[in-house]
């Protein structure tokens, strides 16, 4: 599914953006990016195929910070048209499905 995504360039020539990890996770900056990107108050928080749940958009960065160690986390808009992928090394990328 992610292969069909259109990744947004978050920097001049790069789709990845640094957000930190562990104690250096940029909570405010990550939450601001989440708030500006997703529509609606609820989004999906996905750790893997079997572990996902609906969460409040306003608490997403906190959930990511608490779960990011050794995990890749995906946030999805409820209609699965917009998503963010957070990698455990401290970077994120965001994209949309246009089909």
Q: How does pLDDT run across 22-58, given as a tens digit for each residue?
A: 889 999 999 999 999 999 999 999 998 899 999 999 9
Q: Looking at the 3D structure of the chain, how many domains does it have?
A: 1
- Residue 76: CB atoms within 10 Å: 18
Tens-place pLDDT, residues 46-93 = 998 899 999 999 999 999 999 998 889 999 999 989 999 999 999 999
In the structure encoding, which two tokens stand for residue 63, read together?
């959930």
Mean pLDDT of 8-15: 79
Separate counts of helices (H) and strands (E) for the chain: 2, 7
Range(s) of the domain holding residue 76 = 2-96
């Amino acid at each position: 599914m992610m292969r069909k995504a259109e990744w947004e360039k978050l920097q001049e020539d790069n789709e990845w953006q640094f957000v930190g990890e562990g104690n250096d996770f940029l909570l405010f900056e990550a939450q601001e990016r989440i708030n500006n990107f997703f529509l609606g108050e609820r989004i999906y928080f996905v750790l893997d195929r079997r572990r996902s749940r609906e969460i409040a958009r306003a608490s997403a960065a906190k959930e990511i910070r608490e779960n990011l160690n050794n995990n890749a986390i995906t946030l999805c808009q409820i209609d699965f048209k917009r998503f963010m992928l957070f990698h455990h090394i401290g970077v994120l990328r965001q994209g949309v499905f246009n089909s």
